[in-house]
């Protein structure tokens, strides 16, 4: 069973480029602006686990 809250956070240099890359492969980023000073989105892996990708805002 996938974890409901715990998940890895992966720091990405160019978050927008990475979002376009995954969208081009049929994945849909779930954007979240609830982390001040950071931009981030989530993806689900093949087992339903949540993966967080983030970069500093600005």
* 23-37: pLDDT as tens digits: 999 999 999 999 999
Banded pLDDT at 49 (limits 50, 70, 90): confident
**Cβ distance 7 to 53 under 8 Å?**
no
Helix (H) or strand (E) holding 24: none
**Cβ distance 41 to 19 under 8 Å?**
yes
pTM: 0.84
């Amino acid at each position: 069973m996938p974890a409901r809250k715990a998940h890895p956070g992966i720091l990405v240099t160019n978050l927008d480029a990475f979002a376009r890359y995954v969208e081009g492969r049929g994945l849909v980023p779930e954007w979240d602006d609830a982390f001040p000073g950071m931009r981030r989105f989530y993806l689900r892996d093949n087992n339903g686990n949540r993966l967080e990708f983030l970069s500093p805002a600005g």
